[in-house]
Structure 1
Amino acid sequence: MKKLLPTSIAGSLPKPSWLAEPETLWSPWKLEGEALEEGKKDALRVTLQEQTISGIDIVCDGEQTRQHFVTTFIEHLDGVDFENRKTVRIRNRYDASVPVVTQAVTRPKSVFVEDAKFLRSQTDQPIKWALPGPMTMVDTLYDDHYKSREKLAWEFAKILNQEAKELEAAGVDIIQFDEPSFNVFFDEVNEWGIAALERAIEGLKCETAVHICYGYGIKANTDWKKTLGSEWRQYEESFPKLAKSSIDMVSLECHNSHVPIELISLLKGKKVMVGAIDVATDSIETPEEVAATLREALKYVDADKLYPCTNCGMAPLSRSVARGKLEALSAGAEIVRQELTLKRSA
């Protein structure tokens, strides 16, 4: 029998201090050459063990082998110049120096497949693997070749589809596409963003997910959140169309956010990864706080479609805080699981 309320995390976990600088996004590697490759494998083992011991049901790589959730993938593509960078506005929020698309983008070889095979060899639990979504990739570059966000997104979608098929063949159970841009560029989401996402998942037999959130707990994101008012209704723009799409699961940020929980009802029929852990604070949730978020969500999504999760990745947090949050997520889900079992047997 399939476990009710299977827990997972949205993406990243902190890296061990011997691999990269702790509590830092874009943290440079402390190792190089063969030592770095060995170190990354060790970090995968460690992050897997931390999830397993904490009771996480659907495990992931914690993004231990990549510096950034978007750029690491792009680094492995041809047609992108990382030397002559340009400054662009990322998600209408902050300026960043980014690589430039100078010619047609192609993927000469797989990016994460060997890492996924290694993780698969270490565990019998279901594995989720995150890839950047096409729209968010477009928003992390300066395009000097296609001169069209939509055309570039379509090319990225084709490349992502190649990678996703190889990840599926490597034994990945759920492939998640990270699309924080879906909370910003509403017209583009409906015009071509969801279509590009569907192109990225074309032909996959494993489960697929899209993760949409309000970002890591970095200052640029927390400052932006302060401008969103008392109700964050951004999901309202994309959920109705996502509900009609072929994506299996949708992830959203719930705990300590101003997202009206009833927006989940716009995803009728989909599995929903409910963010019950706030990644923008060092304060560790109690199991009861997690349970309260899940109980609210259950008013709008069936129990067999609810997947307790974190709001976003936890790379910028300390390992002890991240571990505490994983344990709280598992314990909170277990409280609600027990309540549901009692109800069913009553």
Structure 2
Amino acid sequence: MNKLLPTTSAGSLPKPSWLAQPETLWSPWKLEGEALTEGKRDALLLALADQRAEGIDIVSDGEQTRQHFVTTFIENLNGVDFENRKVVRIRDRYDASVPVVVDDVTRKGPVFVADAETLRAHTDAPIKWALPGPMTMVDTLYDARYGSRAELAWKFAEILNQEAKELAAAGVDIVQFDEPAFNVFFDEVNEWGIAALERAAEGLSCETAVHICYGYGIEANTNWKKTLGSEWRQYEETFPQIQKSSLDIVSLECHNSHVPTDLLELVRGKKLMVGAIDVANTAVETPEEVAATLRNALQFVDADKLWASTNCGMAPLSRSVARAKLGALSAGAEIVRRELSTEPAA
């Protein structure tokens, strides 16, 4: 992407009300069979149209064809029992009923490749596609087979690598791995989490990104954030190793968070997707607020490596709010773009 300060969404966008219940995470589909298949494809194209209308440079599918950013991928694997579920603690934050790994995990076949081909056929813009990261997949399951989080993560990394290579072949420009678990299990991140992530990204012909956030704007995450104090320094635990990793891009939360901006210095040299839009708040940012976040980030990242993004996905928001936030993101980036273009040469 040659454009200065390109804009993108970190993750999901709201689904149309005719496809799933609005403003609800993990909402069941309202359609079935062929109508659901067609509806998902239509929603994907609507998400593309919304992004382009609001000036988003690097587009995605908005995760329109998946109910959940992790479990939809897992549904397409062998060795996982979705019928006899277990309740586990997700990211040490909330309890959830999750599927159980009962046998060797393998991929049944391509999961999102057909969707990526559809998106590629309808736009010339760069495409970014999100996949769950290995550690976050492990943290969203009950393991009754492997007995080792690291071993299971490595199996998932190999499967993710197969999918990512096929996505790249389908025309995806950036594969993003979502790893919110990286903000919780610091010892495991440094012991095996980053290595598993690098295995997932190994040998790809496209750029690779890791998205590390503080979660959707749901009550469990909001309550957790209240316990983190006046400074959120979780990135400090993992950024030094991520800076040394093979990943090209780091996506992080910034606006309306308590993340000290100087932590960006720890990943100097990487491209940074800086979250300038708060997804846990329905108030729409002004372009100037977005611009202020980006200016602050520019103290610690070179302009040609800074991308303007959202903090996380926006599935729980209304479509109108999400669109307005994307528009503010584009307008704010344009303010800083103009400022940079008029600066005198050093």
Same fold (TM over 0.5): yes
Q: What is the distance in 2 between the residues matched to 1:25 and 1:229?
A: 27
Equivalent residue runs for 1:120-269 within 5 Å: 120-269=120-269
- Do residues 109 (structure 1) and 109 (structure 2) align? yes
Q: After superposition, what is the alpha-carbon deviation per residue over 1:37-91, rounded to whole angstroms, capped at 9, x for unaligned?
A: 1111110110000000000000000000000000000000000000000000000
Match of 1:121, as an amino acid?
A
**Cα distance in 2 for residues equivalent to 1:254 and 1:345:** 29
Which amino acid is 2:67 matched to? Answer: Q
Q: Give me the TM-score of the superposition, normalised by structure 2.
A: 0.99
Shift of 1:268: 1.2
Q: Residue 13 of structure 2 corresponds to which residue in structure 1?
A: 13
Gap change, CA 1:170 and 1:327, over 3 Å in 2 = same
Which position in structure 2 is the counterpart of 1:308?
308
Matches within 5 A, 1:288-303: 288-303=288-303
Q: Deviations over 1:134-153 (max 9, x none)?
A: 00000000000000000000
Would the alpha carbon gap of residues 34 and 294 (structure 1) be closer, same or farther in structure 2, given more than 3 Å must change? same
Shift of 1:205: 1.8
The one-letter code sitting in structure 2 at the alignment partner of 1:63 is E
Q: Give the drift of 1:345.
A: 6.2
Q: Deviations over 1:118-176 (max 9, x none)?
A: 00000000000000000000000000000000000000000000000000000000000
Q: Distance in 2 between matches of 1:57 and 1:77?
A: 33
Q: CA RMSD in A?
A: 0.9
| Residue identity matched to 2:240 | P
Is 2:339 aligned against 1:339? yes
Q: Does 2:70 correspond to 1:70?
A: yes
Letter in 2 for 1:283: A
Cα distance in 1 for partners of 2:40, 2:48 equals 12
Cα distance in 2, alignment partners of residues 138 and 83 from structure 1: 18
Amino acid corresponding to residue 342 of structure 1 in structure 2? T
AA paired with 1:259? V
Equivalent AA in structure 2 for residue 5 of structure 1:
L
Which residue of 2 is the match for residue 83 of structure 1? 83
**C-alpha distance in structure 2 between counterparts of 1:72 and 1:128, whole Å:** 18
- Structure 1 partner of 2:275: 275
Partner secondary structure for residue 314 of structure 2: coil
Residue type matched to 2:230 in 1? Answer: S
Structure 1 stretches of at least 4 aligned residues deviating more than 3 Å after TM superposition: none
Q: Which runs of 5+ in 1 are unaligned?
A: none
Please give the alpha-carbon distance, in whole angstroms, between the structure 2 residues aligned to 1:88 and 1:37: 31
Structure 2 SS opposite 1:335? helix
Residue by residue, what CA displacement relative to the aligned partner does 1:237-287 show, whole Å, maximum 9, x if unpaired?
A: 010000000000001100000000000000011000000000000000000
* Aligned-partner Cα distance in 1 for 2:49–2:165: 26
Q: How many residues align?
A: 346
Q: How far did 1:2 drift?
A: 1.6
SS in 2 for 1:81: strand
Q: Distance in 2 between matches of 1:262 and 1:291?
A: 17
Say which SS state the counterpart of residue 240 (structure 1) adopts: helix
How far did 1:7 drift?
0.3
Q: Aligned residue for 2:94? A: 94
